[in-house]
Amino acid sequence: MRRRILVGLLGLVVAGSVLAADALKIDRAHSHVNFEIRHLVSTVTGSFNDFEGTIQFDKADPAQSSVDFAIKTASISTGAENRDKHLQSPDFFDAEKNPQITFKSKRIAKKSGETYDVTGDFTMHGVTKEITIPVTYLGSVKGQRGETHGFKTNFTLNRKDYGIEWNRALDSGSVLLGDDVDIRISLEAAVPPPPKPAEPAAPATPEKK
């Protein structure tokens, strides 16, 4: 009997922790994923326009939250069609073979104020590495879409760590592209509305005799 009571209490604790975390769906229309890389003596900027994710957010203790995020590599956009096609090719992202860039968190630690170190598995170009990125919680606001939360992160990756090594040597002795890619992500996320109840089936029409 005592064991059953302990198991029951444990179940309530686990259930309570799950209920304390809101499952937030990322609002793509009000979020962005941008990047910047050195090109010659300036930089090229771009974005990914197709991404999705869910944030399991514990407002009382954000360190207990989690995030699962995916970007479609074919959605890359730099404002130049030929360049975008090259970036989708095997020279770079190889979008047909590696359709997604993903990040799945493993642990979160408070850094300072509303900024947290989020550690997780980052997969790009078929290579997975554990990285830690700083994520700042921007607060929340209640509106017609319910309670919306904001998050942002800025970090840098070396593309060669993920096997993206294409470059071109220049007569000056330098190369066309830099290795480091600066990434800036800003997200709005909210609890999705409940599904609409199914409409009742129309009554069957009696057969005429």
For residue 92, being part of any structural domain is answered with: yes
pLDDT at 59: 80
pLDDT at 19: 37
The tens place of each residue's pLDDT in the chain, 209 residues long, gives: 444 433 443 343 333 333 346 899 999 999 999 999 999 989 999 999 999 999 999 988 888 999 999 999 999 999 999 999 999 999 999 999 999 999 999 999 999 899 999 999 999 999 999 999 999 999 999 877 678 999 999 999 999 999 999 999 998 888 999 999 999 999 999 987 766 666 676 666 666 65
Residue span of the structural domain in which 121 resides? 21-190
Q: How many domains does the chain have?
A: 1
User: φ and ψ at 27, to 5 degrees?
Assistant: -90, 100
For residue 12, being part of any structural domain is answered with: no
pLDDT at 3: 45
pLDDT at 209: 56
pLDDT at 205: 64
For residue 155, being part of any structural domain is answered with: yes
For residue 198, being part of any structural domain is answered with: no
pLDDT at 144: 74
pLDDT at 63: 85
Residue 80 sits in a domain whose CATH number is: 2.40.128.110
Whether 131 contacts 122, CB under 8 Å: yes
Q: What one-character-per-residue DSSP string does 108-172 give?
A: EEEEETTEEEEEEEEEETTEEEEEEEEEEEEEEEEETTEEEEEEEEEEEEEGGGGT-----B-TT
For residue 176, being part of any structural domain is answered with: yes
CA 29 to chain centre: 14
For residue 195, being part of any structural domain is answered with: no
For residue 173, being part of any structural domain is answered with: yes
CA dihedral (85, 129, 70, 196) in degrees, to 10, reads: 170
- Token reading at 123: 């997969």
**DSSP assignment, residue 30?**
G
pLDDT at 99: 98
Three-class secondary structure of residue 204 per DSSP: coil
pLDDT at 208: 61
